[in-house]
Chains A and B, each alone.
Chain A
Amino acid sequence: MQRSSLLAESLAILGKEVASELRRRVALNAIGLFAVTTLVAVAYQIGPYGLAEQDRPFLLSALLWIILFFAATAGLARVFVKEEDAHTAKALRLAARPLAVLYGKLLFNLVLLLALEVIIVPLYCALMGFAVRSVAGLILVMAAGGAAFAVTSTFVAAIIARASGSNALFAILALPLLLPLLVAVIAGTRAAAGSMELAAVLPALRAIVSLGGVTMVTAVFLFPVVWRD
């Protein structure tokens, strides 16, 4: 039996995830709704003038990523949990290679997360009066941060899907692993807000990229153990 290439399998799975998500929109609703309501609530409370001037860069950066983090926990685990709940995991396990499943679902979570960022970040800057001097720097931090975020979230999602599958367990397992990344992306966002040149975000970007790279390599080695008994 010849096998399809890993890329073809991964794209087939990504296609399936996008198609079923567009038709049922469960994760999209969860993430979108959560992010917007939190943002509006926070904006209403704090608003552009609520913060002392010198605290603004740090607090606004931190707040943005906390909103993104909790919106993500509302939706990113679904990509594996629904396979176990709907009992479709068995057919997928038999038909696709573990790495194709990992890459397909990771790409889907990445698309979901970047879409979330594209919607939330401009809205956040407007509502909160968050002036960002280096937009290019912010985009770099958001993209790299989003990718590293998606790697850990997807791997933890695969683990909890085979445990109780509850969102609470996802947050408990994912939070401590994401804290180092959270610190790095907040520092990066703050640097992007603080200065015009791109170089300002480099230290944080190095931390994000190395953290994302190391966790990706580990996820690739460990995923088959999680996906198959």
Chain B
Amino acid sequence: MTEKTWQKGLKWLLGVWLTGVTAAALLWAPPAAGFQGDSFRIVFFHVPQAWVAVLAFCVNLVASLRYLRGRRPLDDARATAAARLGLLFAILATITGSIFAKIEWGMFWNWDPRETSIVILLLIYAAYFALRQAVADEERRGALAAAYAIFAFVTMPFLIFVVPRVYASLHPNLVEAARGTVRFKMDPHMRMVLLAALVGFSGLFTWLYTLEVRVARLVAARRAQEEA
């Protein structure tokens, strides 16, 4: 199918938007107080990546629920694609997070509660794929993976809200030191760039997701031909 103009236009818009966001983040946004030089700018990438990771896991949840109801292989493919992208964004968020920690506190990791939450998310969806590897039958693999993803998703709010609070009470000395510096004042310009970055990365996620689903459709169509 020749590409419709709006699709080409959308890709250009996304490309321009992302370069704009990167430029704004690196150059335009005013420096925040209490940071070494411009290292805080990585936050404009770190935070959206974490949000988009959670967004991807939400898409996985919906696709898993839909698979359990209709048992359509395409929903299983959608759930897998969303989980894979969620894992990608979670890994990126962890990398940029540790770079920020390295610049800011001189060590790649300091068990900041939010960082631990992202890593636990990473472990959950790595386990999701370990489970998918361990099941041979296609339909059972989809059902078990969906059941695990939905069950894991329910624990996520605890992970993101409860754990940091309870966690802080565990080793107060370490966490307070970190918390002091991270809470920088969000002035309007920075908030705008952050939102723009979030929109940009969500757009990129959506594009990646639709591409992966198109691949899944092709694979399913080809298999249907073989079977017929």
Contact = CB atoms under 8 A, between A and B. Distances in A.
A binds B: yes
Nearest to A58: B170
B151 A166 contact: no
Contact of B135 (A162, A179, A187, A219): A162
Contact of A166 (B68, B134, B154): B134
Interface in A149-193: 155-156, 159-160, 162-164, 166, 169, 172-173, 175-177, 179-180, 183-184, 186-187, 190
B102 interface: no
Q: Which 9 A-B pairs have the closest CB atoms?
A: A176-B123, A163-B134, A164-B134, A176-B124, A180-B158, A222-B147, A218-B154, A163-B135, A173-B127
Contact of B170 (A160, A190, A218, A219): A190
Contact of A219 (B123, B151, B159): B151
A226 B131 CA distance: 13
A172 B150 contact: no
B33 interface: no
A107 interface: no
Given A172-B126, A179-B120, A180-B155, 8 more contacts: A159-B144, A163-B135, A166-B134, A179-B163, A180-B158, A180-B162, A214-B158, A218-B154
Interface stretch (A32-40, A113-121, A203-211): A203-211
A203 B168 CA distance: 13
A206 to B, nearest CB: 9
Chain B contact patch, size range: 20 to 34
Given A218-B150, A222-B150, A229-B143, A173 B166 contact: no
Interface of B: 68, 120, 123-124, 126-127, 130-131, 134-135, 139-140, 143-144, 146-148, 150-152, 154-155, 158-159, 162-163, 166-167, 169-171
A85 to B, nearest CB: 15
A210 B159 CA distance: 13
A183 B170 contact: yes
B147 A159 contact: yes
B130 A172 contact: yes
Contact of B169 (A160, A187, A211, A215): A187
Nearest to A188: B166
Looking at chain A's contact residues, is the secondary structure mostly helix, strand, loop, or mixed?
helix
A91 interface: no
A102 B170 CA distance: 34
B140 to A, nearest CB: 6
A211 B144 CA distance: 22
Contacts, number: 97
A225 interface: yes
A156 B127 CA distance: 11
Nearest to A185: B166
Contacts of B140: 162, 229
Interface string A35-69: 00000000000000000000000100000000000
Nearest to B137: A229
Contacts of B124: 176-177
A204 B139 CA distance: 40
Given A58-B170, A163-B131, A225 B151 contact: no
A186 B167 CA distance: 10
Nearest to B169: A187
A173 B152 CA distance: 9
B134 A186 contact: no
Contacts of B162: 180, 184, 207, 210-211
A229 B130 contact: no
Contacts of B167: 183, 187
Contact of A215 (B127, B143, B155): B155
16 contacts: A58-B171, A159-B131, A162-B144, A169-B130, A176-B124, A177-B151, A179-B123, A180-B155, A183-B166, A203-B166, A204-B166, A211-B158, A218-B154, A222-B150, A225-B147, A229-B139
B135 to A, nearest CB: 5
A222 B151 contact: yes
Given A58-B171, A162-B140, A180-B162, A225 B146 contact: yes
A218 B154 CA distance: 8
Contacts of B147: 159, 222, 225-226
